[in-house]
Amino acid sequence: MISALGLMVLCGTIVGLGVAAVVVGSLRRTLRLSDALTVLDGVDPLPLPDNRVHPEGMEAMGGWLQRRLRLPLSAKQQQLLLLHDRSVADFFTEKLVLSLTGFLLPTLWLVLQLALGATPGPLPLLFSILGAVGGYFLADLRLSRSSAQLRRTTTESIHTFFDLVALERMANASASQAVAAAAGISDAPLFRRITSGLERARLEQSTPWPELRRVGREWNIPELDDFADVMKLEEQGAALAGVLQARVKELRDAHLAQQRAAAHEATESLTLWMTLPALLLGLTFIIPPLLKLTSS
């Protein structure tokens, strides 16, 4: 009777948590005045690359959890979220899902113990706490492990952007027109961010070069600063088309050199594993005579 009652309470708790998650996730949130004023002032809030100031569904739950509990988020993580084209709410939703999964998985053990009529011990509760903590930090680990690939993809994207601008300038487009046309070609996160910055500069009736520098600081792309300086001088009448092409070629050659160095390092790290089969084969020829000598 006690085990059946405990099983019913546990199932009811899980169903209640599921219903509460569905209700909270389906709520729509209105736009806060502070966020709207922040955007109008030209200062971006926490990164929402898809322009959703307030997400909906499960992301709303993750954003509410982050704001209510004041969960920390480092500047490097915000930058990685920008590169991933993810919002802060989506990141903390992943943390919430992984934490709940790690917390609820050991309850299967508890349910099995109750179904068999055994008295549950404290181990399922301990494993649930450890699983919740591990699930929370698993999202951070997954985000940090993708930083190298994201940085390589972003570098290739910005070099492609420079090439497109150089081609537009060769087609006799002005500096501002070349940058806007090159940014509008792709739907990649970096290109969309540059396009939104250029649109903001157009609405403010200002030059786009400070906005490019701002994007370079947000995405940690120092090449954009040099590019903005070159384009600004060219817009003022200086004939710097050749300088721009030379700078683009220099950046691409430096990137290729880094890629070759990384590939060479990865190849060198495999040398040990390549020599292990030869060592094992040599041991197969050496060990039998040694055993024969020692036995005699």
Instruction: Give 25-61 pLDDT, tens digit per residue.
Output: 555 555 555 555 555 554 444 444 444 445 566 677 7
Chain-centroid distance of CA 212 in Å reads 21
DSSP category for residue 45: -
Tokens of 28: 């729509």
pTM over 0.75: no
- Which burial class, exposed, middle or buried, applies to 251 when counting CB atoms under 10 A from its CB (0-12, 13-18, 19+)? middle
Q: Is the pLDDT of residue 2 over 70?
A: no
Separation of alpha carbons 47 and 78, rounded Å: 6
Furthest-apart CA pair in the chain: how many Å? 95
Instruction: Give 127-160 pLDDT, tens digit per residue.
Output: 888 888 888 888 888 888 887 777 778 888 888 8
> How many residues in the chain?
296
